[in-house]
Amino acid sequence: MSHPFPIREIARQAGLSEATVDRVLNGRGGVRESTAREVQQAIADLDRQRTQVRLVGRTFMIDMVVQAPERFTTAVRAALEAELPSLHPAVVRSRFHFRETGPMPELTRTLDRIARRGSQGVILKAPDVPEVTAAVARLAEAGIPVVTLVTDLPSTARLAYVGIDNRAAGATAAYLMGQWLGDRPGNVLTSLSSGFFRNEEEREMGFRSAMRTRHPDRTLVEIAEGQGLDATQYDLVRAALERDPDIRAVYSIGGGNIATLRAFADLGRECAVFVAHDLDQDNTRLLREHRLSAVLHHDLRQDMREACHIVMRAHGALPPAGPTLPSAIQVVTPYNMPTPIG
């Protein structure tokens, strides 16, 4: 009787002694037919519960390496910790390596330390630059699976990407912008934290493409490299507003929205439509105060759960699955706010 389970596990499942199970499996006789059926049933039950059997007692140490403003890393940490109970009977422990900005060698040194020290997996949000590509290759050579989060690194040895279809998100923002601005005049400010994050580049491409098709006469004004940080964002937005008196709407791709609104207010300018991304603490408050028109959001808990499952599959602890699908894009207004994590 072929099976992958230890005799001890079968005996526990069947409620029989290990000696009895051994006699049944090796056809030694001296057991009733009903007992043999109980052993067969125990093996069938274990086979159906194979996932749980694989996971019992397994501990997965996962390193989260994220370059993003603190408001976003706080949301990521909360999402992962909220999902940990759903991953039982496996135990997932996490080490967090968060930074808002900084020189690229510091980020690659972090990834190389993980490669030397060892890890069951890395969940990574990082710029799409050659240094990161090389560091991900070194992680793969060390046998450490890498899952990209929110922004992809498709030319690397990463195992999978979890997050939204960013180009579709940008097109969705353009649709909302066009609907709400209507025929009113005014230019649209697009704001990126950095041109090196592929997700922001794809959002901007989707937004420009849809605006060009649906609203070809609407002028788009771009600012970038504010890193999503309020101090730098304020200066960039204020300078753009002073240069262009016709800006009256914002598509915020990279964050820093409190600073953006403060720049409008300090110059006595109206922001008629403001579409942003991610329900972090800042955007949640701004949306409740009706200072944002809408936030394009996705379920970070679902992303964390899927990323952990991908790591587990890489170690053979879960059965194979099909390709990872993009997360659903949610259009959140002050009237359909999701339940907070916690």
What token pair was written down for 160?
């999978």
User: Does residue 220 belong to any structural domain of this protein?
Assistant: yes
Whether residues 101 and 187 share a domain: the answer is: no
Cα–Cα distance for residue pair 47/45, rounded to 1 Å? 5
Q: Is the dihedral of CA 292, 296, 302, 306 positive or negative?
A: negative
| Max CA distance (Å), the chain | 94
Q: Does residue 226 fall inside a structural domain?
A: yes
Question: What pLDDT was estimated at residue 76?
Answer: 92
Residues of the chain with pLDDT under 50: 342
Residues 80 and 200 in one domain: no
Rounded to an integer, what distance in angstroms lies between the CA atom of residue 340 and that of residue 164? 20
Which pLDDT score is estimated for 55? 66
Query: Whose CA is closest to 15, among 35, 33, 31?
Result: 35
Q: Which residues of 170-198 are buried (b: 16+ CB within 10 A; e: fewer)?
A: bbbbbbbbbeebeeeebebbbbbbbebbb
The alpha helices in 150-256, defined as continuous H runs, are 166-181, 198-214, 230-243
User: Hey, is 158 helix, strand or coil?
Assistant: coil
Inside any domain, residue 313: yes
Is 331 a domain residue? no
Tokens of 337: 């706010």
Answer whether residue 334 is part of any domain: no
My answer on whether 12 and 89 are in the same domain is no
For residues 143 and 20, state if they share a domain. no
What pLDDT was estimated at residue 276? 97
CA distance 280 to 73: 9
pLDDT at 245: 97
Contact 314, 145 (CB under 8 A): yes
Establish if 228 belongs to a structural domain.
yes
Same domain for 218 and 293, yes or no, is: yes
Instruction: Count how many domains the chain has.
Output: 3
Averaged confidence pLDDT in the chain: 91
Check residue 340 and give its pLDDT.
64
Report the CATH number at residue 138: 3.40.50.2300
| Domain co-membership, 140 together with 170 | no
Token pair 């996490």 is found at: 94
The pTM (predicted TM-score) of the whole model is: 0.81
Report which of 327, 282, 323 is spatially closest to residue 304, judged by C-alpha positions.
327
Which residue's structure tokens are 């072929």?
A: 2
Q: What is the pLDDT of residues 96-113, one digit of tens each?
A: 889 988 899 999 999 999
Instruction: Please check whether residues 156 and 305 belong to one and the same domain.
Output: yes
Distance of CA 246 to the CA centre of its chain: 36
Task: Please check whether residues 286 and 228 belong to one and the same domain.
Answer: yes
Range of the domain at 132: 59-160+300-324
Q: Are 185 and 260 part of one and the same domain?
A: yes
* One domain for residues 227 and 288: yes
| H/E segment holding residue 19 | helix 18-25
Q: Is 338 a member of any domain?
A: no
In a domain, 118, yes or no: yes
**47 in the same domain as 72:** no
**Position of tokens 């991953």?**
87
